[in-house]
Amino acid sequence: MTRTLVFGGARSGKSAYAEQLARSSGKEVIYIATAQAGDGEMATRIIHHRLQRPAEWITLEEPLCLGEVILQQAHPKRLLLVDCLTLWLTNLLFSNGETYPEVGDIVLPERFHSERALLLYALADLEDTGCDIVLVSNEVGMGIVPYGAISRCFTDEAGRLNQAVAAICDKAVLVAAGLPLHLKGGPC
């Protein structure tokens, strides 16, 4: 059983690297997609990703209840591939149609806290199941501090989530320019 976090910037090659790990596992792959087609551009991206995946992979689309799906799908003969945590985080921030102020304090919805806690519980619980998991996430905190309270909140929460997931995972890999840098647990 191995839990691996693969993260990096936009178009860094992180998803391709995660998919390579899944293909080489020799296990049944359950691809858990968190994206939602909120507009035409995102719908096109989702179709592109679907076409790149091997036909035998099972795809589950889950924008919010990620921890629950991980617990349901965990099996020793499976590898779960989650792409991606930052889209999932965005989905949670706006799960009830929230609007946030440009300045001032941000109060996160209760569902954000409960789903985040369930995800971390599910990842810790995988140790007992023998199921492998690869989680893809964005590193969003390496650039300019964003303008607007919700953008800064998102950056902070994405960083906190990546830290919490990396602490649970056996391996953490930063991908930049398509090249993996193994930060925790050695080469995959």
Cα 52 to the center of its chain, rounded Å:
18
Query: Backbone phi, then psi, for 75, in 5-degree steps?
Result: -160, 140
Q: Which tokens go with 15?
A: 């998803």
From the list 82, 76, 65, the residue with the least C-alpha distance to 7 is 82
Under a CB-based contact definition with an 8 Å cutoff, are residues 176 and 17 in contact?
A: no
Instruction: Identify whether 75 is a catalytic site residue.
Output: no
What are the Cα distances from residue 158, in Å, to 26, 73, 90, 161, 180?
31, 24, 9, 5, 20
Q: Which of 48, 49, 75, 182 is catalytic?
A: 49
From the list 108, 18, 32, the residue with the least C-alpha distance to 65 is 32
Query: Around Cβ 132, how many Cβ atoms within 10 Å?
Result: 24
Burial of 118 (0-12, 13-18, 19+ CB in 10 A): middle
Query: Which residues form the catalytic set?
Result: 49
